[in-house]
């Protein structure tokens, strides 16, 4: 009974209340009136929300694919024996230890067009300075760069744990059959690692979809709305414009998007396990 009370109070009630607010024109500090599906109809005709969805998918795709590739490559490197391997691993995972807000503040200083260290480094090799997060065309890739630096170590740790648990028999059989190192990786290592890679993929996708701290601290959705993802759009609607009913409708639609992506990822994980 105590556990049921906690589940109802912490999980079920907030969702039911969110659904209730989503069908009302609800203003903080003001009244509310029933509008039915009016908020949802407005949402799907709101060009700003549509662009926020596209930016979120664009950001998520880059912030998942690049760390997956780099993290898997790093795990394969760190699985080998070399001098100071333990120290190298420790240094590699340090970015993951920092909080997103602290990371965002440090990178904000580095992105400064005049005083930032990144433009100074570019000038030392003769490359023109960049506006980084201050230009609409580069803000999303720049934010992805921060995300990649911050969370690639997580992918590396998951895949490295998978490498450590791999059986040795398939490699001995591949060696007897005369397989080259690339063939052993392609036909032995990669299939055996696939369940671990899919787990890392699921975690990274969830993290990228719900990214808020870094984006808000660095850009607040700007310049203009060039980095306004669904989370930023939701926050502004609820706590800057006080449109709680409209913001609740955004939550419901965003949850539906996450559920659909989760189903695809879980299906991929089941296929990866079945292939073993």
What is residue 79's DSSP assignment?
T
Q: Coil, helix or strand for 168?
A: coil
Cα distance between residue 207 and residue 40, in whole Å: 26
**Count of CB atoms within 10 A of residue 63's CB?**
26
Which stretches of the chain are assigned E, i.e. beta strand? 24-26, 32-34
- Cα radius of gyration rounded to whole Å, the chain: 23
Instruction: Indicate the CATH number for domain 47-274.
Output: 1.10.3720.10
Count Cβ atoms within 10 A of the Cβ of residue 92 and give its class: 0-12 exposed, 13-18 middle, 19 or more buried: middle
CA distance 18 to 12: 10
The whole-number pLDDT of residue 276 equals 61
Burial class (CB in 10 A: 0-12, 13-18, 19+), 184: middle
- Residue from 254, 226, 255, 225 nearest 240 by CA: 225
Q: Which parts of the chain register pLDDT below 50?
A: none
Q: Name the residue ranges covered by the structural domains of the chain.
A: 47-274
C-beta of residue 273 within 8 angstroms of C-beta of residue 195: yes
Specify whether the CB–CB gap between 208 and 143 falls below 8 A: no
Q: Can you list the positions of beta strands (E) in 13-87?
A: 24-26, 32-34
Residue 218 in contact with residue 107, Cβ under 8 Å?
yes
- DSSP at 25: E
Classified as helix, coil or strand, 127 is: coil
Q: Is the dihedral angle over the CA atoms 138, 140, 144, 147 positive or is it negative?
A: positive
What's the pTM? 0.91
For residue 184, what pLDDT is reported? 86
- Report yes or no: 101 and 117 within 8 Å, Cβ to Cβ: no
- Cβ 18 vs Cβ 248: under 8 Å: yes
Instruction: Tell me which H or E stretch contains 74.
Output: helix 47-78
Q: Are 37 and 23 in contact (CB under 8 A)?
A: yes
Looking at residue 187, its pLDDT comes to 86
Nearest-angstrom CA–CA distance, 236 and 228: 10
In whole angstroms, what is the distance from residue 238 CA to residue 124 CA? 45
> Between vectors from CA 198 to CA 155 and to CA 196, what angle results, nearest 5°?
65
What pLDDT does residue 138 have? 94
């Amino acid at each position: 009974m105590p556990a049921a009370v906690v589940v109802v109070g912490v999980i079920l009630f907030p969702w039911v209340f969110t659904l209730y607010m989503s069908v009302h024109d609800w203003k903080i500090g003001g009244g509310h009136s029933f509008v039915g599906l009016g908020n949802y109809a407005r949402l799907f005709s709101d060009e700003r929300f549509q662009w926020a969805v596209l930016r979120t998918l664009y950001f998520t795709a880059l912030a998942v694919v690049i760390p997956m590739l780099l993290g898997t490559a790093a795990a394969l490197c760190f699985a080998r024996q070399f001098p100071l391997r333990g120290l190298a691993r420790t240094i590699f995972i340090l970015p993951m230890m920092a909080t997103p807000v602290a990371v965002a503040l440090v990178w904000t200083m580095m992105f400064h067009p005049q005083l930032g260290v990144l433009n100074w480094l570019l000038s030392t090799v003769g490359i023109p300075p960049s506006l980084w997060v201050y230009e609409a065309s580069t803000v999303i890739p720049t934010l992805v760069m921060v995300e990649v630096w911050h969370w690639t170590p997580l992918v590396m740790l998951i895949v490295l744990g998978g490498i450590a648990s791999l059986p040795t028999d398939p490699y001995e059989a591949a060696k007897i059959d005369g397989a080259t190192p690339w063939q052993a990786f392609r036909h032995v290592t990669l299939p055996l690692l696939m369940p671990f890679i899919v787990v890392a993929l699921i975690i990274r996708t969830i993290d990228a979809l719900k990214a808020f701290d870094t984006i808000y601290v660095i850009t607040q959705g700007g310049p203009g709305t060039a980095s306004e993802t669904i989370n930023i759009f939701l926050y502004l609607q609820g706590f800057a414009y006080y449109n709680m009913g409209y913001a609740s409708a955004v939550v419901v639609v965003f949850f539906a998007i996450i559920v659909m992506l989760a189903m695809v990822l879980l299906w991929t994980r089941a296929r990866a396990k079945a292939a073993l």
